[in-house]
């Protein structure tokens, strides 16, 4: 029987295939890792599938990296470049299963979801994303406080403004706000606009139709929010992250809060046990359209996708069917107070969020905005506009509307004609090129200048070269080689998914001539190159001079000063807490010494962020330069000091006319050293902004990371890196030149 | 020998107070960090400025065990020690060869290292990712070690070349005349004299690798790393995680755990670091 081996092979293949574990990448969010681990264990027991679970709050970045690696998971709920993946058929359409039975077999799977909740990720009549939790946005309020003062939760903007007055009259902040993430205001603005102008106008905005953002009702909605951000938000809200702001609300220091329905499950471990959580729909504008009354803003979040080219897509679908079953979703609703997107699941919603259930019952339809739906990059325009509206007192609502309109227009133009480059920064580009050229001409090392060591009379040959080869090999393969490759990659365009395309110098033209982001980032680098050194270096000279005099305990001082320099990443994370607006070390101390104006001062809001880095730089690097200057000072012969003292000179003149000139080359070198380090800055901004800088707060390093990971423009990222390299290279050459001259 | 005493006592007092104020500002965040690391989640946010109500040691045990910092700690420590050892070995031999045994092409070798000193690491990052993918080293600690070695070597070579060329050649020539081999001269005569330089390079490499975030983030975040990560990644994960759970005591405990080794290493090697400091004896006259 010749086909027997073939059968055997086929049988073995099916065996191997079915044995592939289901690979699940989970953003644990409010539900938590434990919830998913438990559900998956039950699923494994019930079906015999094997599941590999990866749950991580930073899963989005990791998943983007594994997409670049070419290893798709089977199932994920992470934030994804959904629309780009769809272009490359990397996601599985779920309709064949949606039309089949749900896990419990009572209904069709499709019908088990709340109405409208499958729409956000549909394309070409096919459904790709399936929701688990359902996110409606509400105005939360502190019931006990409202009862004590006899307030009613506001239903309209007018009521909310009046309420804010009486709240402030009793010394209470009306609303806590997640100001570090200003897009928490977007639902409020969009919902207000929806109720004013109706569903069609809202849809026009989602489609980025021309003029959609100039709608007078939209300007009015923005204006309401602008006024509220000045009259209703807690002082210091600008500097607060979401958990910080939410803690303020639960601590009773602010009476209201805007948030999605994940609030309770996100914060449940920190909510005081006697806290009574009230929730009402987002406030309606006066004069809204009656037909929109039953509609509530629902932002699609927590959608699940199955990858078409994973190892076990069918298994992924099975697991997804199980997760969206009534059985599992009721657990979420019952134990965590999460509203779920499965109708039957919400029956046993946790009593603490009873108001949400009431709200869900009245819900007629939902509307919202899927991230990245319009055009990738437009979410950033929203974030920037809302951020500026919050921070800049002169930024009017009409200007904000115009900024959104122009942002939409620019993105659309770029999508339609990727080769077109608008020339917006001709002079800056020319200045940078001029600097680079002049720098290279002036500072290019003369022959032999970089190699100051004596050549022996009889140079040795191969055996010594051999000694240096291993190190050289490692240097070449793992550092110099890739760096050179980056210079080439900068002339290509590649999203890491499709196939690369040669584009010549287009990336450079785009960055230098058109990109506002590039120039903003570069000017931020420039700030870091100039301002912190001007504070750090003089202070370090003074301190080194103090230590050089052998003051009491100078050896201890020397060690203590240097300690912060060792901290690296942990130092940054520590300062993030020091700057905490409501209870950080700095604000607590400032209020303690009497400056009540500092209460809740938002140090890390975009407009303050860079100044806030100055004390941090002093703390972090001051000690290093003290040691450097101290070493230089101790190279000065004691006799010079003795002679000066004999002449009757005191400390200041000695510092000014003897010590400073002697260590001047070290000071200049330190300045350049700091400037070059500032050009390369990455971690400090990346971590201080919780890995999500606004366009105003990027430096080149973080912009590079964003371009590579979030926008997945690998060629443009390389072009950015090339420009960064050129600036650092020229600066280093100039530094060497200056050092050579000084010594 | 006492370092100079200059100026009237008043001026010395002023200098001393300046150092004290700065020293206090330096230490204060550490003290606050330590206190907060013992507080419970809500307490850390609501009463950030004060003694902990109770000493929550479980912040530490949870950071160590649950947040997997224990594994990360082992990973980071072995990776860092490996890279420091290799950097010192390759760095010292290469630097010695360049400074003391001029060979054909030594100028080129030196300039290559100098070039490495002037290249910001982000330049290499995008190709490096695909390069490592091609070599099958993505997510592998060995791949990461090789990159760290490559990026640490330029400074090591540059610094040690200066060190070796500053050591007077007389001893070397004397030893060579006595019939010692080049290797023996290097290991017995020159290396011991460069002890302070090697300690400095070792310390700086240690700090660089122990705290490195960007490359580790890119190479170890994907599925091929299978959860192998370094301490800075673990710490950043912990911070992110705590945002969703508001457990700040836990983060602070993690921060202390990451800081501790660098502090200990520094305090241990600090006396061996080059310091031309003259022994000062009470400039204030106490």
Give the model confidence (pLDDT) of B73-97 as tens digits: 999 999 999 999 999 999 999 998 8
Closest by Cα among A117, A114, A136 to A280: A136
Residue A540 has a pLDDT of: 95
pLDDT over threshold 80, residue A717: yes
Is A582 in contact with A558 (CB distance < 8 Å)?
no
pLDDT over threshold 60, residue B276: no
Measured CA to CA, the distance from residue B278 to residue A504 in angstroms comes to 59
Residues on chain B touching A467 (C-beta within 8 angstroms): 93-94, 97
φ/ψ bin of A455: left (φ > 0), alpha (ψ from -120 to 50), beta (otherwise): beta
Coil, helix or strand for B227? coil
Measured CA to CA, the distance from residue A434 to residue B127 in angstroms comes to 28
Residues on chain B touching A718 (C-beta within 8 angstroms): 126-127
Average pLDDT over residues A466-476: 89
Average pLDDT over residues A657-667: 85
Cβ separation B103–A464 shorter than 8 A: yes
Torsion on CA atoms A480, A482, A483, A488, rounded to nearest 10: 130
Q: Which residue has the higher pLDDT, B45 or A736?
A: A736
Average pLDDT over residues A681-688: 87
Measured CA to CA, the distance from residue B84 to residue B233 in angstroms comes to 20
Cβ separation A69–B223 shorter than 8 A: yes
Closest by Cα among B214, B168, B213 to B193: B168
Q: Provide the shortest C-alpha distance from residue A230 to chain B (in Å).
A: 25
Residue B224 has a pLDDT of: 75
pLDDT band at A136 (very low <50, low <70, confident <90, very high): confident
Average pLDDT over residues A281-310: 85
pLDDT over threshold 70, residue B246: no
Q: For residue B272, what are the β-bridge partners?
A: none
Q: What is the pTM of this model?
A: 0.79
pLDDT band at A4 (very low <50, low <70, confident <90, very high): low
pLDDT digits (tens, 9 = 90+) for B257-274: 888 888 888 888 877 766
Q: Could you give the maximum distance between any two Cα atoms of chain B, in Å?
A: 73
Residue B26 has a pLDDT of: 93
pLDDT over threshold 80, residue A735: no
Helix (H) or strand (E) holding A51: strand A51-55
Structure token pair of residue A234:
């807690």
pLDDT over threshold 80, residue A455: no
Backbone angles phi, psi at A151, to 5 degrees: -90, 155
Give the β-pairing of A137-142 and A277-281: antiparallel
Residue B2 has a pLDDT of: 36
pLDDT over threshold 90, residue A66: no
Is A370 in contact with A121 (CB distance < 8 Å)?
yes
- What does the DSSP assignment read for A591-631? HHTT-GGGTT--TTSHHHHHHHHHHHHHHHHHHHHHHHHHH
pLDDT band at A447 (very low <50, low <70, confident <90, very high): low
| End-to-end Cα separation, chain B, in angstroms | 16
pLDDT over threshold 90, residue A424: no
Residue A323 has a pLDDT of: 94
pLDDT band at A700 (very low <50, low <70, confident <90, very high): very high
Residue A669 has a pLDDT of: 79
Measured CA to CA, the distance from residue A353 to residue A261 in angstroms comes to 9
pLDDT digits (tens, 9 = 90+) for A296-347: 877 767 789 999 988 899 999 999 999 999 999 999 888 888 888 888 888 8
Average pLDDT over residues A58-71: 81
Q: Which of A30, A61, A564 sits opposite B26 (nearest CB)?
A: A564
Note the helical H segments in chain B: 9-36, 41-46, 58-65, 69-100, 106-118, 121-135, 141-166, 169-177, 182-184, 191-193, 195-210, 214-220, 231-245, 248-269
Residue B285 has a pLDDT of: 22
| End-to-end Cα separation, chain A, in angstroms | 90
Length in residues, chain A = 743
pLDDT over threshold 90, residue A743: no
pLDDT over threshold 50, residue A609: yes
Is B87 in contact with B152 (CB distance < 8 Å)?
yes
Is B201 in contact with B194 (CB distance < 8 Å)?
no
Summary count for chain A: helices (H), strands (E): 32, 15
pLDDT band at B197 (very low <50, low <70, confident <90, very high): confident
| DSSP assigned state of A237 | G
pLDDT over threshold 90, residue B176: no
Q: For testing the chain A interface, which of B5, B22, B123 should be mutated: the one with the most A CBs within 10 Å? A: B123
pLDDT over threshold 60, residue A702: yes
Average pLDDT over residues A389-413: 91
Average pLDDT over residues B2-12: 59
Global ipTM? 0.85
pLDDT digits (tens, 9 = 90+) for B210-239: 989 889 988 888 777 777 889 888 888 787
Distances, alpha carbon A640 to alpha carbons A397, A444, A626, A636, in Å: 66, 37, 21, 8
Residues on chain B touching A61 (C-beta within 8 angstroms): 217, 221
Residues on chain A touching B138 (C-beta within 8 angstroms): 69
pLDDT averaged over chain A? 85
Q: For testing the chain A interface, which of B147, B223, B241 should be mutated: the one with the most A CBs within 10 Å? A: B223
pLDDT over threshold 80, residue B5: no
Q: For residue A743, what are the β-bridge partners?
A: none
pLDDT over threshold 70, residue A590: yes
Backbone angles phi, psi at A375, to 5 degrees: -155, 140
Q: How many CB atoms lie within 10 A of CB A412?
A: 17
Closest by Cα among B32, B141, B84, B22 to B265: B84
Q: Which of A552, A566, A569 sits opposite B263 (nearest CB)?
A: A566
Cβ separation B213–A683 shorter than 8 A: yes
| Rg over CA atoms, chain A | 30
Average pLDDT over residues A132-143: 90
Closest by Cα among A394, A391, A425 to A697: A391
pLDDT over threshold 80, residue A554: yes
Measured CA to CA, the distance from residue A603 to residue A588 in angstroms comes to 13
List of residues 6+ apart from A734 with CB closer than 8 A: A439, A442, A443, A672
pLDDT band at A114 (very low <50, low <70, confident <90, very high): confident
Is A130 in contact with A118 (CB distance < 8 Å)?
yes
- What does the DSSP assignment read for B66-99? TT-HHHHHHHHHHHHHHHHHHHHHHHHHHHHHHH
Q: Could you give the count of Cα atoms lying within 13 Å of B144 in the half-sphere of its Cβ?
A: 27
Comparing A484-493, A648-657, B249-258, the range with the smallest average pLDDT is A648-657
Measured CA to CA, the distance from residue B48 to residue A588 in angstroms comes to 8
Percent of chain B with pLDDT over 90: 24
Residue A466 has a pLDDT of: 76
The residue written with tokens 């001082």 in the block is A557
Note the helical H segments in A417-515: 426-443, 462-475, 481-489, 506-509
Residue A476 has a pLDDT of: 94
Q: Provide the shortest C-alpha distance from residue A343 to chain B (in Å).
A: 26
Helix (H) or strand (E) holding A219: helix A216-231
Structure token pair of residue A114:
């709340």
pLDDT over threshold 50, residue A13: no
Comparing A273-287, A438-452, A651-665, the range with the smallest average pLDDT is A438-452
Measured CA to CA, the distance from residue A717 to residue A706 in angstroms comes to 8
Residue A450 has a pLDDT of: 58
Backbone angles phi, psi at B110, to 5 degrees: -60, -40
Is A257 in contact with A116 (CB distance < 8 Å)?
no
Q: Which residue has the higher pLDDT, A294 or A412?
A: A412
pLDDT digits (tens, 9 = 90+) for A356-381: 888 877 777 777 766 666 676 788 88
Burial B245-278 (b: 16+ CB within 10 A, else e): bbbbbbbbbbbbbbbebbeebbeeeeeeeeeebe
- What does the DSSP assignment read for B149-182? HHHHHHHHHHHHHHHHHHS-HHHHHHHHHTT--H
Is A262 in contact with A27 (CB distance < 8 Å)?
no
Percentages (nearest 5) of helix, strand, coil residues in chain A: 60, 10, 30
Q: For testing the chain B interface, which of A76, A445, A488, A569 should be mutated: the one with the most B CBs within 10 Å? A: A569
């Amino acid at each position: 029987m010749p086909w027997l081996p073939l059968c055997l092979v086929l049988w073995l293949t099916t065996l191997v295939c079915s044995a592939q574990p289901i690979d699940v990448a989970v953003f644990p969010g409010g539900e938590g890792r434990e919830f998913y681990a438990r559900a998956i264990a039950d699923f494994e027991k019930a079906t015999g599938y094997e599941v590999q679970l990866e749950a991580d709050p930073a899963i989005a970045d990791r998943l983007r990296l594994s997409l670049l690696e070419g290893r798709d998971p089977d199932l994920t709920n992470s934030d994804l470049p959904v629309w780009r993946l769809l272009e490359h058929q990397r996601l599985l359409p779920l309709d064949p299963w949606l039309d089949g039975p749900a896990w419990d077999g009572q209904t069709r799977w499709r019908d088990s979801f709340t109405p409208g909740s499958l729409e956000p990720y549909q394309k070409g009549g096919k459904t790709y994303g399936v929701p688990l939790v359902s996110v409606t946005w509400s105005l939360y309020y502190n019931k006990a406080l409202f009862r004590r003062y006899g307030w009613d939760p506001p239903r309209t903007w007018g009521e909310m403004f009046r309420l804010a007055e009486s709240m402030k009259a009793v010394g209470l902040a009306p609303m806590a706000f997640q100001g570090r993430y200003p897009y928490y205001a977007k639902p409020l603005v969009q919902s207000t606009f929806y109720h004013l102008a109706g569903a069609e106008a809202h849809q026009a905005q989602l489609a980025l139709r021309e003029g959609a953002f100039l709608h007078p009702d939209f300007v009015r909605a923005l204006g309401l929010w602008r006024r509220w951000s000045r009259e209703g938000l807690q002082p210091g809200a600008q500097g607060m992250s979401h958990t910080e702001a939410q803690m303020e609300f639960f601590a009773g220091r602010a009476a209201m809060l805007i948030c999605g329905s994940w609030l309770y499950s996100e914060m449940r471990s920190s909510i005081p046990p006697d806290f009574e959580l009230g929730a009402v729909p987002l406030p309606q504008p006066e004069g809204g359209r009656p037909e929109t009354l039953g509609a509530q803003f629902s932002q699609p979040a927590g959608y699940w996708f199955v990858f078409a080219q994973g190892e076990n897509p069918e298994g992924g679908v099975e697991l997804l069917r199980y997760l969206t079953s009534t059985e599992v979703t009721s657990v979420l609703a019952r134990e965590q107070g999460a509203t779920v997107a499965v109708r039957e699941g919400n029956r046993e919603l946790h009593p603490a969020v009873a108001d949400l259930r009431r709200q869900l019952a009245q819900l007629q339809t939902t509307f919202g905005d899927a991230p990245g739906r319009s055009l990738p990059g437009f979410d950033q325009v929203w974030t920037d506009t809302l951020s500026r509206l919050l921070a800049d007192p002169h930024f009017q609502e009409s200007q904000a509307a115009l900024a959104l309109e122009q942002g939409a227009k620019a993105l659309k133009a770029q999508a339609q004609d990727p080769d077109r480059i608008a020339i917006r920064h001709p002079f800056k580009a020319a200045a940078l090129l001029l600097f680079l050229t002049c720098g290279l001409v002036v500072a290019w090392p003369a022959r032999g200048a970089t190699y100051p060591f004596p050549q022996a009379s009889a140079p040795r040959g191969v055996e010594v070269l051999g000694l240096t080869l291993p190190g050289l090999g490692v240097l070449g393969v793992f550092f110099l080689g890739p760096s050179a490759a980056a210079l080439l990659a900068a002339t290509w365009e590649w999203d890491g998914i499709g196939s690369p395309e040669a584009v010549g110098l287009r990336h450079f033209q785009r960055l230098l001539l058109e990109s506002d982001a590039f120039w903003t980032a570069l000017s931020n680098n420039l700030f870091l190159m100039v301002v912190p050194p001007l504070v750090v270096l003089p202070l370090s000279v003074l301190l080194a001079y103090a230590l050089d005099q052998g003051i009491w305990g100078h050896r201890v001082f020397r060690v203590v000063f240097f300690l912060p320099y060792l901290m690296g990443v942990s130092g940054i994370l520590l300062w993030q807490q020091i700057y905490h607006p409501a209870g950080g070390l700095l604000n607590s101390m400032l209020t303690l010494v009497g400056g009540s104006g500092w209460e809740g001062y938002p140090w890390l809001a975009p407009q303050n962020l860079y100044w806030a880095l100055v004390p941090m730089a002093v703390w972090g690097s001051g000690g290093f330069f003290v040691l450097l200057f101290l070493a230089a000072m101790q190279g000065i012969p004691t006799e010079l000091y003795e002679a000066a003292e004999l002449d009757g000179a005191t400390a200041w003149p000695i510092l000014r006319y003897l010590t400073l000139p002697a260590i001047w080359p070290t000071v200049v070198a330190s300045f350049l050293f700091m400037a070059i380090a500032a050009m390369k800055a990455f971690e400090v901004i990346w971590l201080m902004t919780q890995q999500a800088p606004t366009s105003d707060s990027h430096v080149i390093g973080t912009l590079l990371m964003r371009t590579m990971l979030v926008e997945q423009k690998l060629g443009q990222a390389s072009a950015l890196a090339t420009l960064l390299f050129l600036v650092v290279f020229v600066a280093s050459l100039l530094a060497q030149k200056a050092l050579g001259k000084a010594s | 020998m006492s370092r100079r005493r200059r100026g009237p006592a008043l001026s010395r007092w002023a200098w001393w107070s300046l150092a004290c104020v700065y020293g206090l500002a330096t230490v204060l965040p550490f003290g606050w960090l330590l206190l907060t690391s013992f507080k419970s989640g809500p307490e850390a946010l609501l009463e950030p400025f004060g003694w902990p109500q109770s000493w929550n040691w479980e912040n530490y045990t949870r950071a160590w065990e649950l947040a997997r910092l224990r594994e990360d700690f082992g990973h980071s420590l072995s990776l860092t020690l490996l890279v420091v050892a290799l950097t010192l070995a390759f760095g010292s031999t290469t630097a010695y060869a360049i400074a003391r045994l001029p060979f054909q092409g030594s100028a080129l070798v030196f300039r290559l290292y100098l070039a490495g000193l002037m290249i910001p690491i982000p330049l290499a990052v995008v190709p490096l990712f695909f390069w490592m993918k091609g070599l099958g080293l993505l997510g592998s600690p060995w791949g990461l070690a090789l990159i760290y070695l490559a990026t640490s070597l330029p400074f090591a070579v540059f610094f040690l070349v200066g060190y070796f060329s500053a050591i007077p050649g007389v001893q070397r020539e004397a030893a060579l005349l006595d019939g010692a081999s080049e290797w023996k001269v290097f290991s017995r005569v020159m290396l011991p004299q460069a002890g302070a330089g090697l300690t400095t390079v070792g310390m700086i490499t240690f700090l660089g690798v122990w705290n490195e975030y960007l490359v580790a983030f890119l190479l170890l975040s994907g599925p091929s790393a299978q959860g192998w990560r370094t301490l800075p990644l673990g710490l950043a994960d912990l911070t992110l995680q705590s945002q969703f759970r508001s457990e700040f005591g836990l983060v602070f405990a993690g921060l202390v755990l990451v800081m501790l080794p660098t502090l200990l290493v520094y305090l241990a090697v600090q006396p061996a670091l080059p310091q031309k400091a003259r022994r000062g004896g009470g400039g204030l006259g106490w």
